[in-house]
Amino acid sequence: MDALQTLSALPKVDLHVHLDGSVSPESLIALARYQGIPLPTYDPPQLHPYMQIGEQGCGSLVEYLAKFDFVLPFLQTADALAYVATETVRQAAEHGAKYIEVRFAPQLHRERGLSADDAIRHVIRGLKLGERQFGVMARAIAICMRHHDGEANLEVVEAASRYCGHGLVAVDLAGNEAAYPASLFRDVFARAQGYGIPITIHAGEAAGPDNIAEAVERLGAARIGHGVRAREDDEVLALLRDRRIPLELCPTSNIQTRAVSGWSDYPIRDYVEQGLLLTVNTDNPSVSGTNLTNEYRVLAERFEFTPQEIKGFILNGVEAAFLREHEKEQLRREILEFGAL
């Protein structure tokens, strides 16, 4: 096996992958044909500009998020949600994933009559089918959207409470961070905390470290999505380190959304040295044109992480997973027993 094959085969976890950012052009064409919704082209490579950030990246998180508008109309039925959930598991399995947490916003899948509960139920159904077919444990995370009102987000938390422990493991907050600071969502996440649902929050990606502190100290976040801007505040760095709050880094996405200016400015080495608990994830394989193997390849090439350091990131992912201890132990064993590194 060459180095890339070894990296691909290495057992991995992905804790931060969006369902609507994982729809391949081939899947979209299948959904379009089945549902009778027209596409501008039925040639997969020609769909890329509509669905994927190009080589040049994009201007901001807001531009990045616009790519999701193209696929969402196709994800409004029970079967479409289940199908893309299973496909997300299949794609992860191709890159050695043994455990994934797939996140999605139930309220964005209701244009054709599904309830928030329906959306969650059918995503879990698709994930479970993927588990059986591809041997990857897969759980769901329900996202509250920053641009939605409190009522819509409380509805998500209520629905999530009914599936927590039954295929769903957490709730999240996502969307335009710069326009909607974390502090606007105290009521929503107080409800989630009341139900004991684990919480992860996108913070310190398109806005500053205050959002990270707010997410951890007020909203009850046990993990932070991205958090690349934590370095702007030493107190926030200390908070993350002392409480062992894992960061869900998504390197390719973080470069594309301009969360950092470029690879030379990506703080991963710095964060390792500061003792932060770092995990490596894909965010949106289709939108970002990436996969788990590629994320680790980039880190190994650009930052000279050794195979042991790569394994360390994966083991951090296991530690940070919203799983029970015996499930984590099984994953740890699989990773540690992988001999080719």
Question: Measured from the CB atom, is 68 or 163 closer to Zn ion?
Answer: 68
**In whole angstroms, how far apart are CA 138 and each of 17, 52, 320, 328, 337?**
11, 24, 15, 13, 21
- Pick the closer one to Zn ion by CB: 77 or 107: 107
Strand 223-226 vs strand 200-203: parallel, antiparallel, or unpaired?
A: parallel
Interface region with Zn ion, contact rule CB under 5 A, candidates 87-95, 229-237, 267-275, 276-284 = 276-284
In whole angstroms, what is the distance from residue 101 CA to residue 81 CA? 15
Strands (DSSP E) along the chain, which ranges? 12-18, 97-104, 137-145, 168-174, 200-203, 223-226, 247-249, 278-280
Q: Which is nearer to Zn ion, 78 or 168 (CB)?
A: 168
Q: How far is CA 302 from CA 4, 157, 216, 268, 340, in A?
A: 15, 39, 30, 11, 22
CB of 49 to Zn ion, least distance (A): 22
Q: By C-beta, is 227 or 267 nearer to Zn ion?
A: 227
Amino acid, res. 111: E
Min CB(68)–Zn ion separation in Å: 11
Site string for Zn ion, 136-165 (x = CB under 5 A): ------------------------------
- Smallest distance from the beta carbon of 11 to Zn ion, in angstroms? 23
* Minimum CB distance to Zn ion smaller for 20 or for 283: 283
Out of 87, 131, 177, 205, which one is annotated catalytic? 205
The residue written with tokens 């996140």 in the block is: 103
Stretch that binds Zn ion, among 26-34, 55-63, 146-154, 275-283 (CB under 5 A): 275-283
- Supply angle C-alpha 185, 177, 84, rounded to 5: 90
- Residue closest to 274 by CA, chosen among 245, 297, 310, 314: 245
Least distance to Zn ion, CB of residue 341, Å:
28
Tokens of 195: 């139900």
The least CB distance from residue 17 to Zn ion, in Å, is 8
- Give yes or no: 217 in active site: no
Q: Which range of residues in 22-30, 74-82, 268-276, 280-288 is near Zn ion by CB under 5 A?
A: 280-288
Q: How far is the CB of 65 from Zn ion (least distance, A)?
A: 10
Tokens representing residue 7 in the block: 């990296």
Size of the site for Zn ion (CB under 5 A): 1
Closest distance of CB 286 from Zn ion, Å: 13
Neighbour count for residue 157 (Cβ, 10 Å): 24
- 140 closest CA partner among 110, 103, 174: 103
Beta strands in 177-226 (DSSP E): 200-203, 223-226
Nearer Cβ to Zn ion, position 16 or 311?
16
* Residues from 283 through 302 that contact Zn ion (CB under 5 A): 283
User: Which among 223, 221, 224, 154 has a CA at the least distance from the CA of 187?
Assistant: 154
Interface stretch with Zn ion, choices 33-41, 86-94, 282-290, 317-325 (CB under 5 A) = 282-290
The single residue listed with the structure tokens 């969307």 is: 175
Specify the residue, 87 or 283, whose C-beta has the smaller distance to Zn ion. 283
Binding footprint of Zn ion on the chain (CB under 5 A): 283
Q: Which residues are catalytic?
A: 205
